[in-house]
Structure 1
Amino acid sequence: MQTENVVNHIVNWLKDYATKAKVNGFVVGISGGIDSAVTSTLCAKTGLDVLCIEMPIHQAPSHVTRAQEHIAHLKRQFPNVKDTVVNLTPVFEAFKTEVNLDGKQATVDMALANTRARLRMTTLYYHAGLLGLLVAGTGNKVEDFGVGFYTKYGDGGVDLSPIADLLKSEVYTVGKYLDVPKSIIEAAPSDGLFGDARSDEDQIGASYPELEWAMHVTENGKTASDFEGRKREVIDIYLGYNSSNKHKMNPIPVCEIPNNLK
C-alpha cells in the first residue's frame, strides 16, 4: 500500500466532502482504539474543525487512558482539534430503569450493549448539529462489509466513512504512519460495549488477520469445504457473521406499491 498517498487521498476526500456540504468540519467519537485514532487524525489533517468526544459508559479504565492519551497527542499537533467528555453512564442507568430487563441474560446484555452505541450516536449528532459538523465514522472494511461488526444506528450511524475501504491491517499501517500512540497500536481491538476489556476476537471467535483472509478467499469463490481444520472454522465464522448481518450492510428494504394499487 502507498501509505502516504492513501493518507493524502483520504484527507483530500474529507476536505472536499465537507466543503461541498458547507460544514465546518467533523466530530469523532474517541474510544481508545486504532480506528477512532486514525479517523480523528485524518480529519485533523484537513485543517477543518475537529471535535473529539469521549463518551464513557462504565468504561474499562484502559480504554479511557488510551483515549485521553490520543486526544492529548492530537491536540499537541493540530490547533484545529478540540475535545469534550460526555459522561453517558447516568443516562444509560436512567434508561435501564425505564425498560423491561426480563429475558435471557445474554439477550439483555446484547440489547444494552447496542443501546450504549446508540446513545453515543445521539451524542455525536447533537454536537454535530450544534456546531455544523459531520459525524465521521470509524468503521473499517472488515467490520463494515465483512462481518458487520457494528451496531445498526449506533456506530453504524454516520455521515461519511473515511476508512471503510481499508482492511484492519491497513488501518494499522496508516496508524503507524500517522504516529498514533504505541499504546493504541498494541492494544487488542475492542468495541468497548460491555464495560470490560473483552476484545473483538473474544466476541467474534476469530482474529482480524483471520477474518481478512476469509474475506479474501470467499470473495474469490472459495468455501469452507475447500479447507480443513482452523481455516474451515474461520470461514464458517466469517460467513456466519456475513450472512446474519446482511441487514446492516444492505439498503433498508422498501415495500414498493404496484402502480395499479395507487
Structure 2
Amino acid sequence: MKTEAVIEHITGWLRDYSEKAGTNGFVVGVSGGIDSAVSSTLAARTRLPLLVAEMPIHQGRDQVSRARDHISFLKETYANAESREVELTGVFDRLIGALPDGPDAGAREMALVNTRARLRMTVLYYLAGLHGRLVLGTGNKVEDFGIGFFTKYGDGGVDLSPIADLSKTEVYEVGRALGVNPAILSAAPTDGLWGDDRTDEDQIGASYPELEWAMGFDGDRSALGARQAEVLALYERLNAANRHKMEPIPVCPIPDALR
C-alpha cells in the first residue's frame, strides 16, 4: 500500500466532503483504540475544526489513559483540534435502572452492551448539532463490510466513514505513518463496551489477519487446513448473521395496483 498517498487521499476526501456539504468540520469519539486514533488524526490533518469526544462508561483505566494521551497528541499537533469529555457512567447506570429485565440474562447483557454504543452515538450527534459538524465513523473494512462487528445505530450511526475501505492491517500501517501513540499501536483491539479486558479476538473467535484472509478467500476449500476451515466458516456465519447491518434498510414496496 502507498501509505502516504492513502493518507493524503483520505485527508482530501474528508476536506472536500465537509466543504461540499457546507458543514463546519467533524466530531469523532475517541476510545483509546487504533481505529478512532487513525480516524481522528486524519480528520485533524484537514485543518478543519475537529471536536474529539471521550465518553467513558465504566471504562478500563488503560483505555481511558490511551484515549487521553491521544487527545493530548492531537491538540498539541493540530491547532484545529479541541476535545470534550462527557462522563456517561452515571447516565448509563440510571438508564439501566429504568429498563426492564428480560428472561435471558445473556440477551440482556448484549442489549446493554449495544445500549452503551447507542448512548455514545446520541452524544456525538448532539455535539455535531451544536457546532454544525459531521459525525465521523471509525469502522474498518472487516468490521463494517466483513463480519458486521459494530452496533447498529451505535458506532454504526455516522455521517461518513474515512477508513472503512482499509483492512485492520492497513489501519495499523496508516497509524504508524501518522505517528499514533505506540501504546495504542501495541494494544490488543477491543470495542471497550464490556467493562472488562476482553478483546475483539476474544469476542469474535479469530484475529483480524485471519478475518482479512477469509474475507478475500476465493480458492479451493478442500485444500484448507483445519484452522483455515474453522476461520472461514466463522467468517461466513458472522457475515450472514450480520448482513442486516451491512445492507440498506429494507423497504416494503407497495404495488401500483394497491394505490
Shorter-chain TM-score category? Answer: over 0.9
Matched residue of 2:146: which SS?
Answer: helix
Question: Using the alignment, how far apart are the partners of 1:23 and 1:150 within structure 2?
Answer: 26
Question: Using the alignment, how far apart are the partners of 1:58 and 1:207 within structure 2?
Answer: 25
Which stretch shifts more, 73-82 or 100-109?
100-109
Structure 1: gaps (5+ residues): none
| Alignment match, 2:116 | 116
Q: Does 1:64 align with 2:64?
A: yes
TM-aligned CA deviation for residue 104 of structure 1: 2.0
Q: Does 1:255 align with 2:255?
A: no
Q: Does 1:28 align with 2:25?
A: no
TM-aligned CA deviation for residue 221 of structure 1: 5.5
Q: Normalized against structure 2, the TM-score is what?
A: 0.98
| Alignment match, 1:236 | 233
Q: Does 1:183 align with 2:179?
A: no
Matched residue of 2:233: which SS?
Answer: helix
| Alignment match, 1:79 | 79
Identity %: 59
Deviation beyond 6 Å, 4+ runs, structure 1: none
Matched residue of 2:28: which SS?
Answer: strand
Matched residue type, 2:17: Y
Question: Using the alignment, how far apart are the partners of 1:2 and 1:112 within structure 2?
Answer: 40
Q: Normalized against structure 1, the TM-score is what?
A: 0.97
Q: Does 1:227 align with 2:256?
A: no
Matched residue type, 2:230: E
Question: Using the alignment, how far apart are the partners of 2:74 and 2:2 within structure 1?
Answer: 23
Matches within 5 A, 1:1-262: 1-217=1-217, 220=218, 223=221, 225-262=222-259
TM-aligned CA deviation for residue 106 of structure 1: 1.5
Matched residue of 1:41: which SS?
Answer: helix
Question: Using the alignment, how far apart are the partners of 2:73 and 2:93 within structure 1?
Answer: 32
1:53-75 Cα shifts (integer Å, max 9, x gaps): 00000001110000001000111
Matched residue type, 1:156: G
**Backbone CA RMSD of aligned residues:** 0.9
